[in-house]
Chain A
């Protein structure tokens, strides 16, 4: 009979401890984990990266459901332990389950501390701790404008930056005069505040919150000095509170958290505690590194391995905010028996301080350039004697080039502070398992698996160990989770092997799922039709809903209808008909769209074919990855400054390029003079008419990331403009990644490369000809559906 090991909690510290136990002896225990979040365990530290849009929920899972299965761990998720019955050696859940144990580990972690002020229960007040919290913040950012983060510590600042990245106006409220006072001294804190202010973060320092006001949803905060601030979202990041209640109720010794000895044992020898819910020598830790160290010790204890026990941790901190490079470890403030070595470069905004006691480093604060952080922290942990260094060279070792010098790092120096991985472990893993990429090293050693700040060092070690064999850029990601092959590899294989159908591609190239996923299905459909315009039959089932239904799906399942208006022109007859149709079908919103057309929003699916038929207009393709519109000014026909017929040229461009699939949507513009009323310099393709011809521009974008166009060339006639536009679109079609706008495409392949191809008249003619070949295979979408009964059938809803 195996011993029954039960863990209350399913967070990072707990899961890590179980991993360590399995590593030592996979067959020793029957393991049950009980977690109250409805997820497998995930990397909580990365939530701020999710909020900042740098990663997704999918990517922060530490162990997925399969991990539990493979290791025969029984996971009870979405359920809470309400009682530990010590005498019977069993725990009881809120669903009434009774689970007996031989050994019990409490790993309940902690909760966000919510200030006990009036109004803290209002809608829009959240902590920052879980996936739910993060989702609530992301949702709020979509609907609301103003946010306040209470707490100018590590978590608060990361949350604030994330909300700014999501378009909110953010104030950070802090009780004390300095940010991150637990980790930074005054000098560093001031530099940090200045850099964050430059990023648009606003600060309300030395303010104590007395009330959160609002009716149902939060409307603002009041402070004890009588001032107030308005907001629609409050994020509490004032600290954490260990979840120790379960231990207290079971009669275990509890101080700030559940008290444990050096072997992570509570006052009941069969019950252990690990992580943020545990208090060791009076300290309850809230950073990941010590929690992992505790997990390792507990695994040794439970599997009967020799251990010296847990001796407490010296902490180090980094901040995951772009543009703020900081490192802090050990002691922060000078005392009577410490001496400080300080370097400050006000021009570069760099500040470095090392605190020394008895010739040993006891504290490190770095701001602006934290590249020495790991090395200095390692000296601190090893208690290295620094007598051999001159004072200034402690901060920068003599003869060392700036940056990371992995060659001189000793094997037991820590590279990944979160997971306690040394350089020796990484080098060993690289050689033993033949690893060549950062992700492989991460998978095997866990280095870089938590906050990810040490990626640069890990890559430097890879380069040092592998020599020329290491190529950081080789690590391109696959087009979706079905394959590790990149876009170029897939397209090349289709060309080379002469494949004809998406299914064939997926089977021949060994896609993980034979029918693909929502990412690769539309992409393969695009690539195949692009490569074989004359023979490939478009697969409607592989199209995203908008392109399958020829309308943009709205959040309530209705659709939008945007008819074509070439160059932004219309007629009285069309306008009257649009009005009549909108009235007849009770269209809730009629709006001029961003692409200068009239849009009908909120049309029911079953009404779409009737609306199209009665409009008697062409589709504006406002839902598709193809040319949306050509924005124009009125030009020389009416404008007294106009140099050419920009309106006529715009209409012609739109007519000749519409309908053809491109990797992503495209917008074009033609403006009649350099006053640029049609705003063409942020379009995928822009034309500025001048007295002697047409200046052409490309690769602009006015959306997510604004990019100004690069200049292509100047041509003399309208025909040349149209030919160049076709060649350019075809080049983008043939080399772009599905889903990539021209702006990132131009940056990826290179402005000069695009220019070089399009400077060659022979190439331009060939590209334009290939475009026309493709163009001939397209027919206006709405009329095609209206003529085809089976297609119309897609829009009907049977009533039974």
Chain B
């Protein structure tokens, strides 16, 4: 997969604190990157589908982030908003190479 995709180097892995989101701008898109407690690095669109809340500032639990504005719960794996709310955000594939996080799908 990754060989066919255009991956962009965005940030040092060590600059990502566990469970604290990081906002990066790639090609004028605001993206939220997270390092989960299990070590996975996930990247999603930094806009909650509800009121554009900055998801990078949300509380992270497991694979979910809670939007800081109105507490919507969103999966960082599938991008799906959890019930009872509804919606979906874009998820970007990530890769770690030489201590750096690379993003695809952009």
- A: which residues have CB within 8 A of B? 38-40, 42, 57-58, 61, 64-65, 513-518, 521-522, 540-542, 544-545, 548-549, 553, 555-557, 605, 790, 793-794, 797-800
Contacts and interface: CB of A to CB of B under 8 A. Distances in A.
Interface string B42-62: 000000000111100111111
B24 A797 contact: yes
Given A517-B59, A541-B60, A799-B24, 15 more contacts: A38-B86, A40-B83, A58-B84, A513-B61, A513-B62, A521-B61, A540-B17, A540-B20, A541-B19, A542-B59, A545-B57, A548-B57, A794-B20, A797-B23, A798-B11
B53 A557 contact: yes
B62 A553 contact: no
State the main secondary structure of chain A at its contact with B: mixed
A798 B66 contact: no
A39 B66 contact: no
Contacts of B26: 800
A515 B37 contact: yes
A65 B23 CA distance: 32
A44 to B, nearest CB: 14
Determine the interface band of chain B, counting residues with CB < 8 A from chain A: 20 to 34
Interface string B10-45: 110001011110111111000000000100000000
Best-buried of B18, B24, B27 by chain A (most CB within 10 Å):
B24
B57 A549 contact: yes
Nearest to A520: B61
Contacts of B93: none
B16 to A, nearest CB: 10
30 contacts: A38-B86, A39-B86, A40-B84, A42-B84, A514-B62, A515-B37, A515-B60, A517-B66, A518-B58, A518-B61, A541-B19, A541-B60, A542-B59, A549-B57, A553-B54, A553-B57, A555-B51, A557-B52, A794-B17, A794-B20, A794-B22, A797-B23, A798-B11, A798-B25, A799-B24, A800-B8, A800-B24, A800-B25, A800-B26, A800-B27
A515 B83 CA distance: 18
B13 to A, nearest CB: 13
A541 B9 CA distance: 25
Given A40-B83, A549-B57, A518 B66 contact: yes
A561 B91 CA distance: 33
Which 4 interchain pairs have the tightest Cβ spacing? Answer: A518-B66, A541-B19, A545-B68, A515-B61
Interface of B: 8-11, 15, 17-20, 22-27, 37, 51-54, 57-62, 66, 68-69, 71, 73, 83-84, 86
Given A514-B62, A518-B71, A541 B10 contact: no
B17 A541 contact: yes
A39 B85 CA distance: 8
A553 B24 contact: no
A39 B22 CA distance: 31
Given A58-B84, A544-B59, A557-B53, A800 B20 contact: no
A64 B73 CA distance: 15
A521 B66 CA distance: 11
B20 A548 contact: yes
A65 B8 contact: no
Quick one: which of B58, B61, B73 has the most chain A CB within 10 A? B61
Nearest to A800: B26
B20 A798 contact: no
Contacts of A65: 83
Contacts of A605: 23
B83 to A, nearest CB: 6
